[in-house]
Amino acid sequence: MSDSTPVFNDRNTGKSKLINPTLVLNCGSSSIKYALISEDESTRITGLAENLGLDTARIKHTTLNGEKLEITIPGGRHELALQKILALLEQYHFVAVGHRVVHGGREYSKAVRVDQHVLDEVKRLKILAPLHNPANALGIEAVEAIYPDIPQVVVFDTAFHQTMPPVAYRYPIPKALYEEEKIRRYGFHGTSHAYVSERASEITDAKGPHGWLTAHLGNGCSATAVYNGESLDTSMGLTPLEGLMMGTRSGDVDPSLHIHLKRKLGMSLEEIDTMLNSESGLLGISGLSNDLRTIEQAANEGHKDAQLAIEMFCYRVGKYLASLSCALPDFTGIVFTGGIGENSATTRARILDVMRHFGIKFNAEKNDDLVGGAEGSFQDEGSSIELWVIPTDEECQIAKETCQALGLK
């Protein structure tokens, strides 16, 4: 298929053409997000297969013209969903497939072409990402079975953070655990931090090299110190549980919490793990939801736990950003992204209030305007640093890294 003629599909505007597209796949434990992105990154087809394995399994597909289709696949699992997705996209003759893979361990510092060794590594790293890496491997194998000649690339969430120095990535625990068991901090959300920091460096007027704190605030949350395009420290660690308070994840807690809960309540390690990953964060504190919109509404109506959830969330982000600034030789600015970072102006304002000793000044009106996919800066005159909202585009970053890994760009 790689040698086929590209298909030209003009949108209504007649401007967009899906030429030499890359298929980006993000296979999760019960869902598959996909995007077919043109070589020049200007055009895409997107979709989501969700509820996989359940009676309600379905594919929501948006065509090149923006038309929405829904295909039900009751009980369908990853393999079936991928077969249907690939059948929908086959006509566009994609030239490569890029997979988002959560954990790349110590070996991978950039995207790599899939071969047997890479696939084995993705599977082996299940021990560090039990929910994600097996699903990612399934996606690779399903594509391989149908299109053995199309090159596939894996883009690791951890790869961008491989530039962290030992002072940031080691835990202060016995050395043998690092050397023999690879226990260290890896960091995640790498494609998002890479994309928004690179974009900030493109659009700022500040002379380089630039030092950015990137705050990816969505259902999962992490912050990274990026200097001169390299991650120097980040808030997530061995797993995506460390660091900031998130939708359902606790972020940092006392490491002795496990032993305390075991002794006091007889909880098993698995129960504690589920509690910290799925029942904590905004959901745990508010008792309402992991969705900030629901919590903001309840807080406005006087719900005390919702108010505390928002305060804690912002306090913890501000505190983390302040500490991560220590990693940067120069501090150019903060970049907000993710569902919350891109849409909640009040959350951004509260976080900046927490950082009150940094000489940051922001324009409230500009901040309020930067929602719903808008990109721009909102610092005021005399601010010590720049403030940006940059919508993340992980699919675009994965497509770009896929083409780079294959020498197509």
Which chain residues interact with ligand AMP by CB under 6 A?
A: 218-219, 247, 291-293, 296, 338-340, 343-344
DSSP-assigned states of every residue in 274-292:
HHHHHS-HHHHHHSS-S-H
Q: Closest distance between ligand AMP and the C-beta of residue 31, in Å?
A: 13
Residue number with CB closer to ligand AMP (153 or 194): 194
Nearest Cα to Cα of residue 20 among 99, 94, 110, 115: 94
Q: 164 and 231 in contact (C-beta within 8 Å)? A: yes
Count CB atoms within 10 A of the CB of residue 238.
Answer: 16
As a three-state string, the secondary structure of 116-159 is HHHHHHHHHHHHCCCCCHHHHHHHHHHHHHHCCCCCEEEEECCH
Q: Closest distance between ligand AMP and the C-beta of residue 240, in Å?
A: 12
Q: 67 and 78 in contact (C-beta within 8 Å)? A: no
Q: 219 and 246 in contact (C-beta within 8 Å)? A: yes
Residue number with CB closer to ligand AMP (105 or 338): 338
Helix axes 304-324, 292-300, angle to 10 degrees: 120
Under 8 Å CB-to-CB from 238, ≥6 apart: which residues? 128, 171, 183, 184, 185, 186
Q: Closest distance between ligand AMP and the C-beta of residue 162, in Å?
A: 24
Nearest residue to ligand AMP by CB is: 339
Q: Closest distance between ligand AMP and the C-beta of residue 346, in Å?
A: 8
Residue number with CB closer to ligand AMP (98 or 339): 339
Terminal CA-CA length for the chain: 19
Q: Closest distance between ligand AMP and the C-beta of residue 339, in Å?
A: 2
Q: Closest distance between ligand AMP and the C-beta of residue 247, in Å?
A: 5
Q: Closest distance between ligand AMP and the C-beta of residue 292, in Å?
A: 4
Tokens 């991978």: give the residue.
108
Selecting among 149, 157, 252, 393, the annotated active-site residue is 157
Helix axes 304-324, 345-354, angle to 10 degrees: 60
What does the block give as tokens for 189? 């959300």
Bridge partners of 214, per DSSP, are: 224, 335
Active site residue 393: no
Residue number with CB closer to ligand AMP (3 or 301): 301
What does the alpha-carbon distance between residue 227 and residue 110 come to, in Å, rounded to a whole number? 17
Q: 387 and 353 in contact (C-beta within 8 Å)? A: no
Residue number with CB closer to ligand AMP (20 or 343): 343
Residue number with CB closer to ligand AMP (279 or 291): 291
Residue number with CB closer to ligand AMP (326 or 374): 374
> Active-site residue numbers?
157
